[in-house]
Amino acid sequence: MNIRKDTKILVVDDSGAIRSIIRKLLAQLGFNDVDEATDGKDALAKIHEKKYGLVISDWNMEPMNGQALLEHVRVEKHFANLPFIMMTAESAISKVVDAKHAGVDCFINKPFDVETLKVKISSIGTKIAD
């Protein structure tokens, strides 16, 4: 991996169990500065409060889903290049296309393991902030 281990990461998912699993996978990769949000609205508030180098967000959440979060992030100039990984248990091509059009950097299907997460993070590693 050619990204810094001190990168601040925001994990967004309405499932506490999933957030915990992703936090553990990130810890296995050496990332320990991880915050959590329960939905897109909560995540957007946190993004405005703290500088993150990566967002890993679920697609399906209420009241604001991952695509709406991504769209809000991309329209704000100072967040336009924030690396964003979208994850979902549904792998419909239409979702992948919608996420790409909204500006997602990477798409990951649940469930995934530490190696898959490592590959996805490494693929956008050059975009991750110091």
Interval 21-63: pLDDT, tens:
999 999 999 999 999 999 999 999 999 999 999 999 999 999 9
The DSSP H or E segment spanning 55 is strand 54-58
Q: Is there a cis peptide before residue 83, judged by omega within 30 degrees of 0?
A: no
Nearest-angstrom CA–CA distance, 48 and 93: 31
Q: What is the mean pLDDT of residues 3-20?
A: 93
* Contact predicate 30/5, CB 8 Å: yes
Q: For each of the domains in the chain, give its residue range(s) and CATH number, in order of start.
A: 9-127 (3.40.50.2300)
First to last CA, the chain: 14
pLDDT above 70 for 123: yes
pTM of the model: 0.91
DSSP single-letter state for residue 31: -
